[in-house]
């Protein structure tokens, strides 16, 4: 089967599965709604902030506060895109139709990544503009230094979270096992490692903590990370590359 036919087939699979569409929609809604709420609360707290807190106030990053939960829906999307066929047994049919496993996997990844990027980028811009509306006089403008980079980075960040999850799901194959590892990792373990002084230097090199730096315009007062926004995104890309390489290697070696 030609590569273009495989891509078309994967597009048909993704858009015909309701769960993948719902998870992308949920990621967008949660990210925007929570970002608006946090932005509104931050605007109300401005009067009580200390001078030090006002200096490190980052209106752009605040509007992306909802991504902490929105990314969980992107994780589910990434896992389901890859592991659904394993859980239903359709993987045998798919690999029989496309015996070139590299073509099969990367066609699936290409379609899912493109879809995740479109949704993520739109979500990032909407979250920014609505978040700034909630901040009122304390808001930032898209033309301010570093803001456009941060907004574009928000779309890249959510996309990479989904792609990383696809790589992990390709390695583990089971949706329950993949979600059972990824959800606690991003929602609990990463946060704990990043906030405990003894493990902070390790935590800052985890994919979500490193990647989220691309969305920051104003560095926190206690910032001691050894990399900048693009360096952090580069670290996240390395994590994603390792996950994809692992998924590809195991797919080539294992039976369906």
Q: Would the pLDDT of 21 be above 90?
A: no
Max distance between CA atoms of the chain, in angstroms, equals: 64
- What is the C-alpha to C-alpha distance for residues 139 and 133, in angstroms, rounded to an integer? 7
CA distance from start to end of the chain? 19
Rounded to an integer, the average pLDDT of 105-118 is: 92
Predicted confidence at residue 103, as pLDDT, reads: 78
**pLDDT of 102 strictly over 80:** no
d(CA 19, CA 70): 15
> Would you place residue 118 in the very low, low, confident or very high pLDDT band (cuts 50, 70, 90)?
very high
H or E element that contains 210: helix 207-211
Query: Which of 1-15, 106-120, 152-166 ranks highest by mean pLDDT?
Result: 152-166
At residue 47 the predicted structure's pLDDT band, cuts being 50, 70 and 90, is confident
Rounded to whole angstroms, what are the CA distances from 160 to 9, 96, 135, 181, 208?
23, 29, 28, 17, 9
pLDDT for position 53: 83
SS3 content of the chain, % helix, strand, coil (to 5): 80, 0, 20
Q: Residue 1, Cβ neighbours under 10 Å: how many?
A: 14
Average pLDDT in the chain: 89
Q: How confident is the model at residue 20 (pLDDT cuts 50, 70, 90)?
A: confident
Give the model's pLDDT for residue 84. 78
Q: What is the pLDDT of residue 129?
A: 97
pTM: 0.92
């Amino acid at each position: 089967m030609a590569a273009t036919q495989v891509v078309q087939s994967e597009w048909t699979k993704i858009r015909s599965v309701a769960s993948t569409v719902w998870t992308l929609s949920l990621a967008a809604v949660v990210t925007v709604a929570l970002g608006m709420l946090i932005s509104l609360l931050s605007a109300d707290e401005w009067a009580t902030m200390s001078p030090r807190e006002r200096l490190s106030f980052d209106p752009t990053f605040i509007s992306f506060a909802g991504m902490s939960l929105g990314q969980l829906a992107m994780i589910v999307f990434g896992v389901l895109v890859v592991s659904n066929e394993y859980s239903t047994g359709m993987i045998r049919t798919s690999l029989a139709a496309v015996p070139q496993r590299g073509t099969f996997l990367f066609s699936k990844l290409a379609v899912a990544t493109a879809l995740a990027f479109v949704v993520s980028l739109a979500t990032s811009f909407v979250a920014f503009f609505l978040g700034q509306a909630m901040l009122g006089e304390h808001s930032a403008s898209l033309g301010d230094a570093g803001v456009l980079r941060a907004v574009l980075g928000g779309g890249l960040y959510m996309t990479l979270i989904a792609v990383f999850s696809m790589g992990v799901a390709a390695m583990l194959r089971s949706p329950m096992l993949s979600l059972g590892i990824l959800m606690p990792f991003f929602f609990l373990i990463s946060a704990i490692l990043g906030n405990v002084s003894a493990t902070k230097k390790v935590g800052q090199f985890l994919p979500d903590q490193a990647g989220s730096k691309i969305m920051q315009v104003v560095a926190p007062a206690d910032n001691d990370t050894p990399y900048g926004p693009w360096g952090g995104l580069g670290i996240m890309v390395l994590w994603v590359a390792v996950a994809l390489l692992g998924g590809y290697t195991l797919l080539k070696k294992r039976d369906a």
